[in-house]
Every structure is written in structure tokens, then in C-alpha cells.
């Protein structure tokens, strides 16, 4: 169960989107777009506020990942923040090659829910017919030169830069960059990174640099990867589901179950009608089955714990010191 630490919503006074125009309303969700925003000026994203948030963040809602550097061999290890304070965790990230994702921040602290509510209120008023009742935010604190490898997400996604700079590569949301089969496997195993990447894909990517006060939105399921520039980064990742996205996610999950559990070769992908309704029921009944939970857990073992730096004497240690 999530914990609420602060129940007094803070209403941001200024609009979140600061350079929205008529073409933006037509491009949102259809094409990668970079927009200006005001969230980087919120005190809720100051280092002190983030350190305080990390201090009591529930274990079930965060992921700490060690990655390889930009030129290094691929590395992806999940870890635990141990008993470090929030400020120490941020310092460990500043010195290391990691990222911390404070997932579901809107459930943990109502002040961040108020920010998401404002974002989606503005989107609803600017994009005709836009309604995304399901949305979630994750605060991503990441090291200089850390990276997020090539992957695709099932919900709608946007990325808000708050501190530092990063480069985002966005690829077309179609074969050969991502296939329906791969989306279905992401739904089942909860492993977005299982989408294969080849360096020549970059020739077909849109490459966008982000600085504080800029955000990116891209089309549903478009694969992307992120490289931090040489500075500590803080970003907000926001995922959301409209009715059509929710239906597509149900079909992905049901088709994955039909393939992996019942041997179907190529289940159809209709988003309405009797087959869709049957799949909706199927994925609802089976999505928490023991074999699915086990398959997911097997793919995400925790393999390191942050430890407080001991000034002297220096000792050999396989843990990552703050």
C-alpha cells in the first residue's frame, strides 16, 4: 500500500505549458515535440525537497539502477538505497553511474499529484477530446553520463527536464524499430528494455536535447533512448492512458498470454468488438497469475546496496559507496 506523506495540495499559480500554440494541439501524440514548461521553477523539485522525499520513499515504489557509461558495455543492475539519507543518495548518484526512479510519486505525495492534475487539466483544455484519467509520474534522478537504453513504453509518455541536460533519441513506432510481438512481451514481462536495438536505427531517430524548462512528448510506443550529458539530471517522467491506450494495453497483455500460455501464433489486435471484450476479461483474470509474477521477478533481481562512504582507511568493497 502506498503512503501519503503530505495531504495539502499546492496549486501552481503559473501555467505549466508556456509556449503552447495551435500546431502543438495537432502534433501532440502524433509526432515528437519539444515544448517549454515551468515545472523546473517549482520548489518541489529542489534538491532539498527531493532529498526529503527520498528519505521516506516506500521501497515498493522506487527503482535504483546502475548503468554502463555511454561508451561502455551494456550494464543494467537493480539495487537498493540501503540506509542512506536522501541527500547521501543524491550524492551517490552525482558521483556514480546510476539512476533512481521515484515511481508513482502522485500516490506517495499529494503535492506532486496536484502538479499532474494541473498538467492534465491544461492538456484537456488544449487538445480537443483529450482525456487521460489514468496517469502517473516518476521523478528520475540520474548521474552525469548515465543512460537509459533503447526501449518502448506501453502507456503514453512524456519527459520533463528539471535539472541538468540530456539527449533523447526518439525512433518511429513501427517495424523494424518495434513490433507488435515485442509490445505484447513488454506487457507480459514488464521489461521495456527487451526491445532489440541496432546502431543504424539512429539514422532514423529524431534527436532532441533537453534543458531545464523543456519537455518532450512522442507518439505512443515510439522507442527511445536517453543519454545524460556530463551533469546530474533530474527529470519527471509522466505516463498516461486514454481510453484507446488502455484498450491497446489490454490487447497487448491478452495477446501475450494467448501466445505464451496457449500457443497462439498471431492473435488479432482489434480494439473493439466481441474478441476485444473477451481479451479484456482474459487479461483481467490472468494478469496477476503466479507464473506472470514469477517471470517478472526473475527478470529484476536486486544485486547491490548503496553504502555510506567511509573516509579512511580505504577498503575493497563491491558495494557502491555514497
Show the site string, 67-106: x = touches Fe ion by CB under 5 A, - = not.
Answer: ----------------------------------------
Q: What's the closest the beta carbon of residue 190 comes to Fe ion, in angstroms? A: 13
Q: What's the closest the beta carbon of residue 109 comes to Fe ion, in angstroms? A: 22
Q: What's the closest the beta carbon of residue 239 comes to Fe ion, in angstroms? A: 8
Find out whether 3 and 60 touch, Cβ atoms under 8 Å.
no
HSE-CB of 44 using CA atoms within 13 angstroms: 22
Q: What's the closest the beta carbon of residue 225 comes to Fe ion, in angstroms? A: 9
Closer to Fe ion by CB, 48 or 202: give it.
202
Closer to Fe ion by CB, 92 or 237: give it.
237
Closer to Fe ion by CB, 116 or 258: give it.
116
Q: What's the closest the beta carbon of residue 308 comes to Fe ion, in angstroms? A: 31
Closer to Fe ion by CB, 91 or 153: give it.
153
Rounded alpha-carbon distances, angstroms, from residue 160 to 26, 164, 168, 210, 221 = 20, 11, 12, 8, 18
Closer to Fe ion by CB, 57 or 218: give it.
218
| Residue 307 lies near Fe ion (rule: CB under 5 A) | no
**What does the block give as the cell for 64?**
535504483
- Residues 6+ away with beta carbon under 8 Å from 104: 2, 61, 136, 137, 138
Short-list 282, 296, 220, 286, CA closest to 251: 282
Closer to Fe ion by CB, 158 or 188: give it.
158
| Residue 153 lies near Fe ion (rule: CB under 5 A) | yes
| DSSP for 30-71, written as a single string | TS-EEEEBSGGG-GGGSHHHHHHHHHT--GGGEEEEEE--TT
| Residue 190 lies near Fe ion (rule: CB under 5 A) | no
CA 189/CA 182 separation, integer angstroms: 10
Closest residue to bound Fe ion by CB:
153
Spell out a b/e string for 65-82, using b for 16 or more CB atoms within 10 Å of the CB, else e.
bbbbeeeeeeeeeebebb
Q: What's the closest the beta carbon of residue 153 comes to Fe ion, in angstroms? A: 4
Count of residues that interact with Fe ion, criterion CB under 5 A: 1
Query: 580505504: which residue's cell?
Result: 314
Q: What's the closest the beta carbon of residue 249 comes to Fe ion, in angstroms? A: 15
Query: 227 φ, ψ to 5°?
Result: -120, 125
Applying CB under 5 A, which part among 11-19, 32-40, 148-156, 259-267 lies near Fe ion?
A: 148-156
Q: What's the closest the beta carbon of residue 136 comes to Fe ion, in angstroms? A: 13
What is the torsional sign of CA 69, 204, 162, 111? negative
Applying CB under 5 A, which part among 122-130, 145-153, 213-221, 304-312 lies near Fe ion?
A: 145-153
Site for Fe ion in 160-189 (CB under 5 A): none
Closer to Fe ion by CB, 79 or 156: give it.
156
Torsion of CA 198, 70, 65, 307, to 10 degrees: 160
Closer to Fe ion by CB, 55 or 153: give it.
153
Element (H, E) at 228: strand 224-228
- Which residue ranges make up the site for Fe ion (CB under 5 A)? 153
Amino acid at each position: 500500500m502506498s503512503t501519503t506523506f503530505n495531504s495539502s495540495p499546492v496549486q501552481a499559480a503559473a501555467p505549466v505549458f508556456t509556449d503552447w500554440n495551435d500546431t502543438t494541439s495537432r502534433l501532440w501524440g502524433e509526432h515528437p515535440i519539444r515544448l517549454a514548461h515551468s515545472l523546473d521553477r517549482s520548489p518541489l523539485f529542489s534538491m532539498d525537497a527531493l532529498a526529503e522525499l527520498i528519505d521516506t520513499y516506500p521501497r515498493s515504489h522506487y527503482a535504483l539502477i546502475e548503468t554502463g557509461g555511454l561508451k561502455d558495455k551494456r550494464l543494467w543492475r537493480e539495487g537498493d538505497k540501503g540506509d542512506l539519507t536522501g541527500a547521501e543518495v543524491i550524492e551517490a548518484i552525482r558521483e556514480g553511474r546510476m539512476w533512481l526512479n521515484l515511481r508513482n510519486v502522485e500516490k506517495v505525495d499529494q503535492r506532486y499529484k496536484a502538479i499532474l492534475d494541473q498538467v492534465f487539466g491544461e492538456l484537456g483544455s488544449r487538445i480537443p477530446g483529450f482525456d487521460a484519467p489514468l496517469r502517473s509520474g516518476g521523478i528520475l534522478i540520474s548521474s552525469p553520463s548515465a543512460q537509459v537504453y533503447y526501449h518502448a513504453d506501453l502507456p503514453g509518455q512524456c519527459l520533463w527536464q528539471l535539472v541538468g541536460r540530456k539527449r533523447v533519441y526518439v525512433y518511429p513506432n513501427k517495424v523494424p524499430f518495434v513490433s507488435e510481438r515485442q509490445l505484447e512481451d513488454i506487457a507480459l514481462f514488464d521489461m521495456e528494455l527487451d526491445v532489440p536495438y541496432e546502431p543504424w536505427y539512429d539514422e532514423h531517430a529524431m534527436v532532441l536535447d533537453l534543458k531545464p524548462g523543456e519537455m518532450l512528448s512522442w507518439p505512443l510506443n515510439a522507442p527511445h533512448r536517453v543519454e545524460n550529458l556530463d551533469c546530474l539530471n533530474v527529470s519527471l517522467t509522466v505516463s498516461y492512458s486514454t481510453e484507446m491506450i488502455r484498450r491497446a494495453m489490454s490487447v497487448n497483455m491478452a495477446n501475450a498470454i494467448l501466445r505464451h500460455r496457449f500457443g497462439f501464433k498471431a492473435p488479432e489486435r482489434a480494439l473493439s468488438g466481441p474478441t476485444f471484450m473477451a481479451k479484456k476479461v482474459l487479461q483481467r483474470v490472468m494478469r496477476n497469475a503466479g507464473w506472470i509474477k514469477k517471470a517478472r521477478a526473475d527478470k529484476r533481481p536486486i544485486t547491490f546496496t548503496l553504502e555510506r562512504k567511509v573516509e579512511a582507511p580505504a577498503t575493497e568493497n563491491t558495494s557502491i559507496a555514497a
